[in-house]
Structure 1
Amino acid sequence: MITCVVEYVIDPSKIDAFERFGRRWIELVNRHGGTHHGYFLPAEGASDKALALFSFPSLAAYEEYRALFGVHPDFVEADRIRDESGCVLRYERTFMRPLLPEPPDEG
């Protein structure tokens, strides 16, 4: 499994647009083979930082999903929310592998 962590710098005055953008991408990731773990929005502290975390079974599965960017109409529409609203100022994507709890010993 590979987890993508996206760190956003957002326009705090456009949080509603960012939420619309995020809800759309949650749906798209889940529909196209991934598991979206949610968007994490400012609550206290810096008001211009947000995170998204989602996982795919493999990097190859993620690449299949990425191949739809700019091509599939649903992906184009989701990006249009970001582009037209200006809610995202910049973002950085990092891939991580989870270290999960080991299952309990059944012995």
Structure 2
Amino acid sequence: MITCVVEYVIDPRKIDAFERFARRWMDLVQRHGGTHHGYFLPAEGASDRALALFSFPSLAAYEEYRTLFGVDPDFVAADRIRDESDCVLRYERTFMRPLLPGDLG
């Protein structure tokens, strides 16, 4: 399993647009073989940071999902929310290998 951690710097004045964007991507990940662990939005402290975590069974499965970017109409529509609203100022993806409670021992 591989988990993608996406760190966002967002425009806090456009949190509603970011939430629309996030809801679309959660659905897309789930529909295309991944498990979305959610978006984590500002609550207290820094108001311009957000995180997303989602997993795929393998890097190959993630790469197959990525082939839909810019091609599949649902993916294009999800990105259009981000692009037209400018709710995301920048983001960075990191891939991690989870160690889960079931992996103990």
What RMSD over aligned residues (CA atoms) do the two structures have, in Å? 1.3
TM-score, L = length of structure 2: 0.97
Unaligned runs of 5+ in 1: none
Percent sequence identity is: 87
What does 1:1-107 align with in structure 2 at a 5 Å threshold?
1-102=1-102
Structure 1 segments (4+ residues) deviating >2 Å: 102-105
Q: CA deviation at 1:101?
A: 1.8
Whole-angstrom distance in 2 between the partners of 1:79 and 1:103 = 35
Matched residue type, 1:69: F
Higher alpha-carbon Rg: 1
Q: CA deviation at 1:51?
A: 0.1
Residues 27 and 103 (structure 1), Cα distance of their counterparts in 2 relative to 1, 3 Å cut: same
Q: CA deviation at 1:103?
A: 6.2
Unaligned runs of 5+ in 2: none
Local SS of the residue matching 1:28: helix
Q: CA deviation at 1:9?
A: 0.1
Q: CA deviation at 1:104?
A: 7.8
Matched residue type, 1:11: D
Residues 92 and 104 (structure 1), Cα distance of their counterparts in 2 relative to 1, 3 Å cut: closer
1:5-53 deviations in whole A, cap 9, x for unaligned? Answer: 0000000000000000000000000000000000000000000000000
Q: CA deviation at 1:102?
A: 3.7
TM-score, L = length of structure 1: 0.95
